[in-house]
Amino acid sequence: MQTLSTPQRAATLPAFDTTIHRRQTRPVRVANVTIGGGYPVVVQSMINEDTLDINGSVAAIRRLHEIGCEIVRVTVPSMAHAKALAEIKEKLAATYQSVPLVADVHHNGMKIALEVAKHVDKVRINPGLYVFEKPKANRSEYTEAEFEEIGEKIRETLEPLVISLRDQGKAMRIGVNHGSLAERMLFTYGDTPEGMVESALEFIRICESL
């Protein structure tokens, strides 16, 4: 039987920098909580209750907040859900305390986002779903003119929400999802991270111009 020699440990292990370096970011307020800048990292989570279940949603938000969740996100797939958030926020304040709330807006969400912006502290939109582009059969590309035409439609649709949130001193999150990139981004940039980045930047440029 062959006996293998015991591996020798290196006298000194290579040094790795294990420090987490934070990027310099712009601080953003969400109700009474500040995200970014030099402020402490903020914990956020999302409830899985149906937003139309007022009591269930209030209880879930309270449970998260009591264990240290500082911001709570709630799904808002319809106008009825948007209006329910007004009651949820009011009931939270009456039975517990105010908790910073984020509305997660889904498909074709301009009207929903404008309604829910009245009731929450931050609105999350998905660039790939905010303006619906009906796919055309056999399309394989977008011309520059077609790309810009849809971009202008996005601007017209997004502008009222940006102005509403700005005037109320509320925040917006631009949340890109690779699984729901707009068709024109996929055709122009391919199935790549670049498409995700450009999708976010398009919305950011609109916001900054206002």
122-151 tens-digit pLDDT = 999 998 888 767 667 777 788 889 888 889
Name the domain count of the chain: 2
Does pLDDT of 1 surpass 60? Answer: no
Q: Is 46 contained in some domain? A: yes
Which among 125, 143, 170 is the end of a domain? 125
Q: Is 19 contained in some domain? A: no
Lowest mean pLDDT: which of 55-59, 128-132, 152-156? Answer: 128-132
Q: Are both 144 and 107 inside the same structural domain?
A: no
pLDDT at 7: 62
Does pLDDT of 9 surpass 70? Answer: no
Residues 143-167 have a mean pLDDT of: 92
Q: Is 164 contained in some domain? A: yes
Q: Are both 110 and 201 inside the same structural domain?
A: no
pLDDT at 20: 81
Q: Are both 111 and 161 inside the same structural domain?
A: no
Long-range contacts of the stretch 61-64 (C-beta < 8 A, 24+): 61/88, 61/92, 61/99, 61/101, 62/92, 62/95, 62/96, 62/99
Residues 81-95 have a mean pLDDT of: 96
Question: Which of 19-23, 106-110, 149-153, 156-160 has the largest mean confidence?
Answer: 156-160
Nearest C-alpha neighbor of 58 from the set 21, 1, 96: 96
Q: Is 5 contained in some domain? A: no
Q: Is 114 contained in some domain? A: yes
Q: Are both 210 and 161 inside the same structural domain?
A: yes
Which among 85, 107, 125 is the end of a domain? 125
State the average pLDDT for the chain: 89
Whole-model pTM? 0.84
Q: Are both 32 and 116 inside the same structural domain?
A: yes
Q: Are both 67 and 90 inside the same structural domain?
A: yes
Q: Is 92 contained in some domain? A: yes
Q: Are both 118 and 189 inside the same structural domain?
A: no
Q: Are both 138 and 112 inside the same structural domain?
A: no
Q: Is 9 contained in some domain? A: no
Q: Are both 169 and 105 inside the same structural domain?
A: no
Looking up residue 118, the CATH number of its domain turns out to be: 3.20.20.70
Question: Which of 46-60, 94-108, 135-149 has the largest mean confidence?
Answer: 46-60
Q: Is 190 contained in some domain? A: yes
With cut-offs at 50, 70 and 90, classify the pLDDT of residue 11.
low
Which among 125, 141, 171 is the end of a domain? 125
66: containing domain: 24-125
Tokens read off for 93? 């304040």
Using DSSP bridges, classify how beta strands 44-46 and 122-125 pair: parallel, antiparallel or unpaired: unpaired
Q: Are both 113 and 169 inside the same structural domain?
A: no
pLDDT at 184: 86
Query: Using an 8 Å Cβ cutoff, are 103 and 124 in contact?
Result: yes
